[in-house]
Amino acid sequence: MERSWHPAVNGSSTAFWVRVLVAVCTLLVAVWAVTSGDSGSPSDASRGAELFRTKFTPEQGLGPLFNERSCSGCHAFPKVGGMGRNGLATVLRVGRLTDAGFDPLVGRGGPFGHSHAVSELGVDCGREAGIPAGANVTSVRNSPQLFGSGLIDAIPDKAIRAGAVARGDGVRGRPNLVRGPDGRKRVGRFGWKANAATLELFVASALRNEIGVTSLLAPAGSRPRGSNRCPGESNGPEIDQDSVAALAAFVAELPPPQSRSSQQAGAVLFRETGCTACHLPALKAGRREVPLYSDLLLHDMGRALDDRVVQGVAGGSEWRTTPLWGLRDRTRLLHDGRATSVEAAILSHGGEAKTARRRFHSLPAAQRRNLIEFLRSL
């Protein structure tokens, strides 16, 4: 006898299959988000946007020493996620270099000098801003733009490692392998010397180093010897991990710069001079091409750019290949912002880039203009 379907009889079965369908759809959306390079939920990113603009107070963990009170204090021009006003928002990396090696002075005022102390806000704290005692190395670092960081975070380690091969003209980059909180070594990709392997670690480190707000991913170091704890200063995390994740989700959603290039002659010259040996036009994140113009590897850039600071395996003259996307919006170039033109930045290159620099310098003036026009369109 043929059975007929009745809602009253089969309602529970229908509800079960509806739940299964919803679960499958949710899983597919999650998989799509991972493979497409998206991270975090809209609510995470929305909360992260608020945190990005928040001016922290000592009660929220600010200080006791800091450079800015908010993330947007260094990343707001030409819009939120960009660079500092007039292209500059500089900080000082510090350390002590001796025959025994480089000491970042962690727990003795390093690894950053700071411009401000919470005492300026009326908090009774004896800590003074400035370069810590014992430092004999200082390195100016300009805050970079953050656009496209989510896509950089999605690039697999193996895609970056694959570029660590000889490419002619003495060019051979190497990854900066950095140890994470779990003890595992991963390929660094964020920071001027690629000293952060993930976007969350990069964000957490910036919160601690620039604002003085600590977290599980970037805990407080020991206080300088003989100093007392300042009001609001804690040995434990001053911001929870959900907030760090929300902030990272917001940064991950900052869109990548879109090239406006129609200058094919300049693109050809960029390749022929040897610039693409380090500034690879794209790396892959899953099925997506990420057109960042960087291999994210460390390269020796010569004596003129040697700041003597060691970070991970990166020596003083070694720097991560700076992504060139968004170059059109930058008015100050290189790690310290010293260059005010693309040509000045190129001519500062040495070490592994000296042959490419020589080829650029030898180009006729019209071809140099074509190449620079191409770069200024990225």
Does the structure show a pLDDT above 50 at 234?
yes
Q: How many domains does the chain have?
A: 1
Q: What is the mean pLDDT of residues 209-225?
A: 87
274 within a domain of the structure (yes/no) = no
* Range name among 26-40, 161-175, 295-309 with the lowest pLDDT average: 26-40
Asked, for residue 2, whether it belongs to a domain, the answer is no
- Tell me the average pLDDT across 98-113: 92
**Domain presence at residue 232:** yes
Position 28 pLDDT exceeds 50: no
In a domain, 110, yes or no: yes
Q: How far apart are CA 50 and CA 45, in angstroms?
A: 9
The enclosing H or E element of 36 equals none
Is the pLDDT at 17 greater than 90, yes or no?
Answer: no
How many Cα neighbours within 13 Å face the side chain of 3? Answer: 5
Q: What's the confidence (pLDDT) of residue 2? A: 39
Query: Which tokens in the block code for residue 150?
Result: 């989510």
- Is it the case that residue 5 has pLDDT exceeding 60? no
The pLDDT assigned to 221 comes to 74
- Which of 27-41, 125-139, 228-242, 338-352 tops mean pLDDT? 338-352
What's the predicted TM-score (pTM) here? 0.86
Residue 275, pLDDT above cutoff 90: yes
Burial of residue 221 (number of CB atoms within 10 Å: 0-12, 13-18, 19+): middle
Q: Per DSSP, what are the bridge partners of residue 91?
A: 141
Strand partners, 66: 116
pLDDT at 3: 39
Residue 335 has pLDDT above 90, yes or no: yes
% of the chain with per-residue pLDDT over 70: 88
How far is residue 345's CA from residue 88's CA, in Å, rounded to a whole number?
Answer: 15
Q: How confident is the model at residue 279 (pLDDT cuts 50, 70, 90)?
A: very high
Domain annotation covers residue 52: yes
pLDDT tier, 39 (very low <50, low <70, confident <90, very high otherwise): very low
Structure tokens that stand for 113 in this block? 């000098």
Domain membership flag for residue 117:
yes
Of residues 305 and 40, the one with the higher pLDDT is 305
Confidence category of residue 25, pLDDT binned at 50, 70, 90: very low
Averaged pLDDT for residues 123-143 = 93
Domain membership of residue 46 (yes or no) is yes
How far, in Å, are 215, 330, 358 from residue 324 at the CA level?
A: 31, 10, 20
Residue 109 falls within a domain, yes or no? yes
Domain range for 95 is: 42-148+194-252
